[in-house]
Structures are given as C-alpha cells and as structure tokens.
Structure 1
C-alpha cells in the first residue's frame, strides 16, 4: 500500500501540472497520460521478465534510479520534453503491482490465494480513495512541481524498501509456500525444457529433412519465440482479455462519472460518487475473499459490465452514487479472480513475465476505455460513456464464455 500510494496520486498531479503550470489544455494533458500509459504497457512485461531472470533486487535497480531522476527533472521541462519523460518514466515504472501479485502467488497456496489476491485488490481500492485527493490538494495548495518530485522520490524510496524486504518470488526462497505444479504447468515446463535443450544440429536437420523448409536460423528463431511464450496458453489469453475488459470498464466509468456531474454543474460532488463506488469495491472484495469457491473472471466481468450501463441514466448525484454500488461490488472480485487465475495457470518460473503482461492488458484497457467513453459522451451525451464501455465489455465477456463452452464440448 505504501509503494502504491505515490502512483495513485501521479495521474492527477500530472494532469494538473499540464493544465495549470504549463497552461495547456485537457487534451494535451490526456496526451501525456496516454504516452505514459503506453510506456507502462511496454515496460511491464520486460520488468516482470527481469524479476524472473535476475531476481527482485537486481531487477528493481533501474526503476529506483529512473523514478528518482525522471520525476525530479520532468516538472521543469517544456511540454514537448515532458511527453518524452512521461514515456521513459512509464517504461521504467516501479513494477510494484506485478511484484506484489507474483510474491503472493508463492507466499500462499490453495484457497488462501483467493483471499490474499482479494485483500490486495481491496488495498488498492483504499489507496485510490485517498491518493488522488492528496495529489489534488498538493497540486492546488502547494505546487505541481513539488508534487511530481515528491511522487518520484517516494516511489524510489518504496523501491528501496522492496529491495531490502525482498519478498519471495519463487517457492524455493525463504517464506514461500511450495505448491505442487498443475498438469498444465508440468506440460508447459516440459515443452520449455525440450525447446531450450535441443542442440543446434537438431533444428538444422529438421530443416533439411522437410521439403521447402526455411533455413535453420529461421527455424531456431521460431523455436526461441515458442520457448519465450510457452506460458501463453488459451486460458491465460482469456484472463488477459478479462484484464483489458476490466480496465476499459473502470476507465470509462471514471470518465462517465465526471461527465455526468460536470454536465449538471455538480462537479464539486464528485467525491461522494467515488466514495460510494470504491467503498462498494472494498465490501465486494471482502465478501469474495471469504468465499471457498472461485468464480470465473469472465462471469464477474459480464456482471460488472451490465450493471455499469444503468449509471448513465442517473438524474442526481445521489442516484449516481447509488447506481455505482452494484458494479463497484464486483470491481475487486474481477481483479482478484483474474490474478488468482494467472497464478494458477502459469509456472512460477515465468509468472513475473505473465503478471507483467497482465498489467499491460489492464493498462491497455484503461487507455482504450477512456477515449472510447469520451467519444460517445461528445457524440450523444454523458450517458453514452457508460453504455459504450458497458455494452462493449459485456459482448466481449459473452464471446469469451461462448469460446470456453465450445472448447469444453470439443474436449468431451
């Protein structure tokens, strides 16, 4: 929670810095946020892979240095250079979300994982209740320059704390709970071993024996790619789609709430709606974490998507807050169920990379959901944002559930 707090305030601070300090528009502020999001999406898998290969302490060194340097310099740059700094800062963002999930995957096992991942999602909701508000106060009452610098230095200190604490990311490390691998993990590990151990002459011979085969170098390149993504099975891909869908709904709902209240001149009442929305997520997370049976992330995403649509038809702040409770109850369960599923499906040797891609999928959904909702809001009105992201993600969930059913029938 401590390490995530600066991240939760960064978005508001960056937006207000562009609008207030640099005297630019909200569209240009959105461009900075989009560039940073792209950087995070690109960097997350690479940072996770470094944790798998080099260990946590070595992998975090570039992030600690970059967070301290970039966000101490970025507030003093012109808008054009700030775009570049935001991109680089995004790539080297401290991978605290994926590190926590990866560590929880080996610290607990069985049904306890559901509770642990749910508490992680609940903690995130609590952070996002206070972080953005603190960032706004710091920006308006003190300085956006100081605020962004504090965010960078605080994140670097959090990284140093993680390096000192060094939570286990493998079951062989102290404190971890060793769990027997699943059959799917055994198969994936076997494929990786065979691909990695096969000598060069095997690939060369296979290329010579098959008529019209490509040269051995291309064959080996394909084998390396297959080895690198051996963990990416169809069930894992479905979870990544769920993460992207969840990000889309959350970002679209965020923009929709702001649009509805601003359209009615009640933007000052924004905090009440976000309080109801996030509090519901905390309650839903606690309930889901206490359950003894998992629920499919696709089912949870479908319910959250459908329940988001009615928020567009609220005619007062009270009604909007009330309607936000139902989809809010499913927010933390969706994220915790997806994290739990990734931890179950991917062998721990590749789990850091998988969690990185999970974070990238979630971030990509956020990057897509906000402009999609904004486009509908500009076209048809504030209610269009909720309908757009809710309907699109519900359709995505139904397609995923249909694909799962078809796969099960073929396997029978």
Structure 2
C-alpha cells in the first residue's frame, strides 16, 4: 500500500510542491473565523459579519475562472506572486479598517473584502492542475488523495490557529498573519513551480486555430463542477449541524472536538485510499460519502434525543473516512476530462462551484435547523449528496479529445 507514496517521493519537486501548495491554502481556512470576530466586535452584528465574510468568498469565486485561464495562458508563477503580494497587503488593510472607520461604514468594508477576494492567489487550482504534467497511473491518483487529505487537515488546523491568535492577542493580528501566510505560501509555491519548470504558460499540443469550443462543452466537465457544488454544500451543512447541536446542549467545545474527529476520519480514509492501486471508482466513493452522512440522521435530535456525543463522534469518524477519497477522485476526474491547456481554468471553475456550495449551505442549513432541528439539517445534506451520486454516475471515465482554445 505504501508503493504509490514511494513513487511520489521519488519524483523530483513533488514533495516540495505538495508542501508549499498546502501552506499556500492554510490562510483560507482560518480567515473566516478571524473575520467574524473582528466584524462582530466592530458592528455588534454577526449578520453583518456574515455579509462581509460572504463578500470575501464571492470575490474569490468570481475571479477563480479568470485567474485559472490567465495561469494557463500567461504562466502561473508570476500571477501567483503578484496576487499573493496584493492579497497580503489587502488583508492588512482589512484588519485595520474597523479602527479607522465608524461601524456605520460597514458596506465599504464589504466592498473592500470583495476586492481583496479578487486577488486571492490561485494556489489551489494551479496546484491541482500541475499533477498530470508530472505524474501518471497510481502515483497520480495518490497525489490527488494526499492533496485532499492535506486540505482536510488545513480545515482542522487553520481555524484553531486563528482562534488561538484571536484569544491570545486580537482579531486584527490574526487577520494580518493570515495575509502574511498567504503571501509567504504564494511566493514559496511560485518558486517551486519555477524550479520544476511549470511556472510558464501551458504548452498547447496543436497550433491550428479551429472554431473556439467552450470548456463546458467537454463531456463530464459540467457534471464534475456540479458534483463539487453538492458535495461541498452537504459537508458544510453537516458542519453547521454539529455546531448548532453543540450550542443547543451548551457545550460549544464539542463542536471543535467533533469537527477534529471528522477531519481525522477523513485523513485516515485519505491515507488508505492513496495507497491503493488502480483507477478510483468515483461513484462508489460518493456513495460511501452518502452512507456516512446518512448515518448522522438517526443519531441527532429530534430523532434521537438526547443525543450521545460519543455515538456522534463514532459516526463522524467512520463517515469522515469517505470524504477525502471522494474529493480526490472527483478532482482527479476533472483533471482527466479538462484539456491540458484549459486545466487550471477548469479548477478555477471548481473553486467557484465550491464557493457557490457554501452560499447554498449556509441559509439552507439555517432554515432546516430553525424549523426542524439537527437531524433535519443532516437529512438535507443527505439529499445533496444523493444528487451528487446521480451526477457521479453521469461523469465519463475516459478522457475526451482535447478542446483547443
């Protein structure tokens, strides 16, 4: 089972690229928490904090495809350096705007957050797009699994670091450090891309200029993006469900503990899946994800009341084992489907689809929690993953003929 990992370690630059790609996304997982504390303290409103946090995410989602296309056509390294520096400066400005402006000026803060989001360095789409240029076979499947597993780890580590800085110092410093991490991660990743010979434009196989065909015309691309949309929305709904249940029982610390258990389960599943040989079966992995989410419904109130944190933890640990493998298979499949010269753009659209999933999950989970309870919100997540299963069945396994730009 360790053979694919040995193959990864043997390829020059791959360990370094993985390390810097992971560090380059760490800031994204802790920023929303720090921003919520900052804005809530400034305005006294969590609703406004949510609006400003959403503005940052919308900026990221809107610019994702454009930055991906620019990376494909003009080169990724220079773009990542430029956006990384701008993003770090922008986050520093956002951290101190509340000290310079009265709280009634919060719409300006929302506009500024949207603008800063436009400059989020495209480390994630570029990081996912480069692997087929370096690896193949079981090693390629393994690197996508490692990437998904490390992403889950960042979602456990990032908020904890941000919360520690908020508690020990203040939200301003937490946001400044988040911006600094984004800049450092972007510079390091860009340097590794250059050393690996991947910092320039993606070479096109053909030089003829036929009638332009859209990326969305490639069979399976739209279904892959929609699959990510539903999976991300479902996972965030589960996360919101656990937070709400922990608050309802007056033990908010359980939200962090159970979230960590969920991430550990995902990490274990990812490590096991990454060591398997053969082509991953996307539909099977999404079905396992569905089973894991569905198992939460009967262990949460009002179906099971009072709920047992131990039972919930066991379900999250086992069900979480399907998260990273499913995400890895979905990411790898999109990389197979997208033409090489449009691959980063495709992953930019994937980031936008994930952001849209967040936008769907927040109000939907809130409505179900208010009108039914945690088990109802978990059932809503089940419906979303079930739709993902249907989409996974429609995504072709074979890579189509490349579409030229």
**C-alpha separation between the residues in 2 aligned to 1:194 and 1:23?**
54
Summarize the Cα distance change of 1:290–1:167 in structure 2 as closer, same or farther, 3 Å threshold.
farther
Measured on the aligned residues, the alpha-carbon RMSD in Å equals 2.6
Q: Take 2:199 and 2:70, find their aligned partners in 1: how far apart are those partners?
A: 18
Query: Which residue is equivalent to 1:111?
Result: 138
Instruction: Report Cα offsets for 1:279-324 as digits up to 9, x if no partner.
Output: 1101111111112223333432233134213324330221211111
CA distance in 2, matches of 1:303, 1:370: 24
Using the alignment, how far apart are the partners of 2:276 and 2:216 within structure 1? 28
TM-score (norm 1): 0.81
Equivalent of 2:230 in 217, 242, 245: 245
Rg (Cα) greater in structure: 1
Q: Please say if residues 170 and 349 of structure 1, whose CA atoms lie closer than 8 Å, have aligned partners that are also in contact.
A: no
Distance in 2 between residues matched to 1:353 and 1:262, nearest whole Å? 40
CA change 1:45–1:3 in 2 (3 A) is same
1:7 equivalent to 2:28? Answer yes
Q: Counterpart of 1:281 in 2: which secondary structure?
A: helix
Give the match's secondary structure for 2:220: helix
Are residue 157 (structure 1) and residue 177 (structure 2) matched?
A: no
Q: 5+ residue gaps in structure 1?
A: 179-185, 196-222, 406-412
Per the alignment, in what secondary structure is the counterpart of residue 3 of structure 1?
helix
Structure 1 residue 400: Cα displacement: 5.1
**Cα distance, 1:399–1:360 mapped onto 2, change above 3 Å:** closer
> Could you tell me how far apart the structure 2 residues matched to 1:389 and 1:93 are?
28
Q: Are 1:395 and 2:395 an aligned pair?
A: no
Structure with greater contact order relative to length (CA < 8 Å, sep ≥ 6): 2
The CA deviation at 1:392 is 2.8
Q: How does 1:221-370 map to 2 (within 5 A)?
A: 226-227=212-213, 229-230=214-215, 232-312=217-297, 313-314=299-300, 315-370=307-362
Distance 2:195 2:57 in 1: 28
Compared with structure 1, are the counterparts of its residues 253 and 282 closer, same or farther at alpha carbon in structure 2 (3 Å cutoff)? Answer: same
In structure 2, the partner of 1:125 is 152
Deviation at 1:45, TM superposition (A): 0.8
The whole-number CA distance in structure 2 between the counterparts of 1:82 and 1:298 is 42
Gap regions ≥5 residues in structure 2: 1-21, 98-104, 301-306, 398-405
The residue aligned with 2:371 is 379
Q: Count residues in correspondence.
A: 362
Say whether the 8 Å CA contact 1:32–1:82 is kept in structure 2: yes
Name the stretch that deviates more: 288-297 or 371-380: 288-297
Distance 1:48 1:302 in 2: 30
Runs of 4+ displaced beyond 3 Å: 167-173, 402-405
